[in-house]
């Protein structure tokens, strides 16, 4: 059996009056992410981790942010396409682990909803989908509420 690992990173700016989507779930907030798509940084980092594991480039290559096709895109749809791309080459998702850095709101109560949203798209059990959240103790651009960062690692096998 072949096993590969990949990592991904994403960041989006935060502004007033925009929706906040994270891990495929809308987070109640009067501030959200500035983006061409729905700005789901957690899914974008995850897509890059999966693409990285299969050495298939990155999310910007497959879903360019200057293309009308992906304007306002639901990131769950992008993730679905990435999983299909990998599965066409025989890859299955082993497990994934995502860390989201956001100063506010607190994400703790939304984590399980994110896991159960992403698991079926990944074709993996929910216990193979880890999502963690942290603040940055008010330090840096995340701490000032200017943006949100996410990191992901993914293991795939065939």
Q: Which residues are near Mg ion by CB under 5 A?
A: 10, 44
In the bound state with Mg ion, the residue whose beta carbon lies nearer, of 21 and 91, is 21
In the bound state with Mg ion, the residue whose beta carbon lies nearer, of 60 and 125, is 60
| Nearest Cα residue to 40 out of 15, 14, 9, 74 | 74
Number of Cβ atoms within 10 Å of the Cβ of 76:
18
User: 3-state class of 75 per DSSP?
Assistant: helix
CA angle, residues 30, 48, 94, in degrees to nearest 5: 105
Shortest distance (Å) from residue 143 CB to Mg ion: 20
Shortest distance (Å) from residue 48 CB to Mg ion: 9
In the bound state with Mg ion, the residue whose beta carbon lies nearer, of 71 and 158, is 71
**Both structure tokens of 6:** 């990949």
Shortest distance (Å) from residue 3 CB to Mg ion: 27
In the bound state with Mg ion, the residue whose beta carbon lies nearer, of 10 and 149, is 10
In the bound state with Mg ion, the residue whose beta carbon lies nearer, of 54 and 78, is 78
Shortest distance (Å) from residue 1 CB to Mg ion: 32
CA 1 to each of CA 4, 6, 106, 112, 156: distance values in angstroms, whole numbers, following the listed order: 10, 17, 40, 31, 10
| Nearest Cα residue to 104 out of 40, 147, 59, 61 | 147
Shortest distance (Å) from residue 127 CB to Mg ion: 27
Residue of minimal CB distance from Mg ion? 44
């Amino acid at each position: 059996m072949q096993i590969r690992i990949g990592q991904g990173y994403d960041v989006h700016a935060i502004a007033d009056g925009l929706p906040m989507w994270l891990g495929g779930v809308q987070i109640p907030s009067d501030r959200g992410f500035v983006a061409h798509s729905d700005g789901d940084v957690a899914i974008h980092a995850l897509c890059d981790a999966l693409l990285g594991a299969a050495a298939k480039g990155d999310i910007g290559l497959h879903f360019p942010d200057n293309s009308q096709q992906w304007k306002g895109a639901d990131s769950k749809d992008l993730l679905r396409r990435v999983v299909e791309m990998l599965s066409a080459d025989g890859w299955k998702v082993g497990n994934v682990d995502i860390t989201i850095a956001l100063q506010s709101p607190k994400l703790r109560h939304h984590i399980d909803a994110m896991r159960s949203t992403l698991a079926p798209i990944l074709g993996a059990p929910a216990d193979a989908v880890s999502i963690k959240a942290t603040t940055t103790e008010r330090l840096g651009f995340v701490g000032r509420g200017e943006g949100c960062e996410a990191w992901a690692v993914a293991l795939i096998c065939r």
